[in-house]
Structure 1
């Protein structure tokens, strides 16, 4: 897969997606909490932030926020993350939020037998109001230059207009030889207001001809794209990777433009202990990191960090197997800290990839 040289490009990677304010009760429950920590987060943004903070690449986010104190808080958190906010679109706030507001996400981490849980409050958000024509894609991909573009099914499910924004971005990116990745990230709670699973598949299938790299877990491919994975049960407690290989082969046969398919492998034994690994298809060959048990502090964002690790490997011309190992290690480290976004360093990722233990470093 040929990737544009960094020379002449202002950014290595650009994401399109909503950035929400996450309210985290820590070890408590949302419905009994009295205090919350706040983080910024969003599937597409998390990838850009991981590439910037952990892997030290140049990244940007295309998004929108309502111009009020909450929006300015989210902006401040994003600035700490180092992602370029030049294309953050500010939308006038009416003082109440009748027409536009900022998305909130209340998230419990889970522990032992109690699963992680989320409660989103993101209706009428500024990002969901984005329409084709709102972002200067020719400037981003043509005049100033980017090597990689990333978006996904969460953004496309926000409203009737957001899939059109993603489509417009992909068309321009393709015209300027920018590699495109898409995370299926199927969320039933988002799609149910826009035609459900049927509509999700229509949207995703319409975008696939533009995509070079697809991310998704087993449920994403089944529900969000319509490709069945054989050898798994309804709760996905057992994952037969031969079934993934067959499914991925069907995907690339249907969409021969796709060069890379990456799937994280997760079996949740408890909320605190997960089996974690990954499988990567790269230009006709499969690579696999078998699952091993890891301890989880906060699982949200693990898949996004898996994606950013793989993208980093591809952007830096590492081998496909190295890229997959990097994604698995980065995802595991991201789930060892609170919040949606990675707090890992590249040195820590390399250490995890080498199989080094968790002895204290002095």
Structure 2
């Protein structure tokens, strides 16, 4: 009697991106951009002057891909049409990000009904952690609604290889989750890869339904996501997937336990083609252990490790990881390369001030190859 053969398990899908020549954009991001006011080495409460940057979790990815990696990127967002909005426009255009799909809304003269967001952020040092104090109520970007953006023209006519958005934008108002869903469903319809950074912020979700609402919204969006990005807190808070053995301070995370959680995530959301996360252990505001892992095609890929990485400004490190990861996938299709582009870019981005990258692809590849910090003359 012949033994019945076991059914072969289907191979997990792998990322397939549209050809560059068929698309106007390599990547487009949907998100809010705020003016960041940075007191430098002092504190917000004692500052007498601030440096001005632009920043926003989703936007930072588009800017990183444009400025560091030279790719064609665009932004979908909205601004109140006043001097602050035009300052943001000037900063964004300096970064080379296309603004054709940015909506300008009439300013009411006072900010009673519509305004632009501000984000006061101090970097922290040593035992004093970084502090953010956002001022973003009633912003134009938070008031975008279904039907405001011509997604069919963007994805169907112009063409986009990769679309990126995230949980910060989804948490801004009652209407933004529906805008995200409208966008990701249209992107999927036209064969665009969709990535989503969970980026859980309790203070944002608190105003629109709290923890339960965060899970309801993010789990629905997750059904249309190809590449899910997030850390252990994000997966737990947004998707209800616990990492065993993690304490309330998120310290001493067992990477193997995290991998088990990712296996549960991809079983529950079989549409995930890849997941990525940064692994950060905070020794102080100025010293972090830093690395990353990616799941793709049924396998895990770990980046090179950056033990005791010296940090100047940690804000935007995860976004720079995402832009490096996306660059690696778009240019090579190889997860092992992608995770190392992401980890190296994130590490370098945290050595400069501001939310966005100030490094070049050559510097990223030098770090990937094991290059040191000797003076370049």
| Category of TM-score, reference length = shorter chain | over 0.9
- Between the aligned partners of 1:152 and 1:15, the Cα distance in structure 2 is 9
SS at match of 1:316: helix
SS at match of 1:306: helix
2:140 aligns with 126
Q: 2:245 aligns with which of 211, 216, 231?
A: 231
Matches for 1:67-86 after TM superposition, within 5 Å: 67-86=81-100
2:352 aligns with 337
Of 270-279 and 226-235, more deviation after overlay is shown by 226-235
How far did residue 232 of structure 1 move? Answer: 2.3
Matched, 1:292 2:307: yes
Of 230-239 and 188-197, more deviation after overlay is shown by 230-239
Q: 1:347 aligns with which of 362, 365, 373?
A: 362
CA contact (8 A) 1:278 1:291 kept: no
- What are the Cα deviations for residues 328-362 of structure 1, in whole angstroms up to 9, with x where unaligned? 00000100000000011000000111111100001
Question: Over alpha carbons, which structure has the higher Rg?
Answer: 2
RMSD of equivalent CA atoms: 0.7
Structure 1 unaligned residues grouped into runs of 5+ = none
- Between the aligned partners of 1:190 and 1:263, the Cα distance in structure 2 is 21
SS at match of 2:21: coil
Q: 2:286 aligns with which of 262, 272, 279?
A: 272
1:308 aligns with 323
CA contact (8 A) 1:228 1:247 kept: yes
Matched, 1:360 2:375: yes
- Between the aligned partners of 1:297 and 1:59, the Cα distance in structure 2 is 27
CA contact (8 A) 1:232 1:239 kept: yes
TM-score by length of 1: 0.99
How far did residue 233 of structure 1 move? Answer: 2.1
- What are the Cα deviations for residues 44-63 of structure 1, in whole angstroms up to 9, with x where unaligned? 00000000000000000000
Structure 2 unaligned residues grouped into runs of 5+ = 1-14
SS at match of 2:161: strand
2:216 aligns with 202
1:248 aligns with 262
SS at match of 1:7: helix
- Between the aligned partners of 1:232 and 1:361, the Cα distance in structure 2 is 42
SS at match of 2:138: coil
Matched, 1:96 2:99: no
How far did residue 317 of structure 1 move? Answer: 2.1
Of 349-358 and 312-321, more deviation after overlay is shown by 312-321
Matched, 1:174 2:188: yes
Of 226-235 and 346-355, more deviation after overlay is shown by 226-235
- Between the aligned partners of 2:185 and 2:374, the Cα distance in structure 1 is 48
CA contact (8 A) 1:280 1:286 kept: yes
SS at match of 1:180: strand
TM-score by length of 2: 0.95
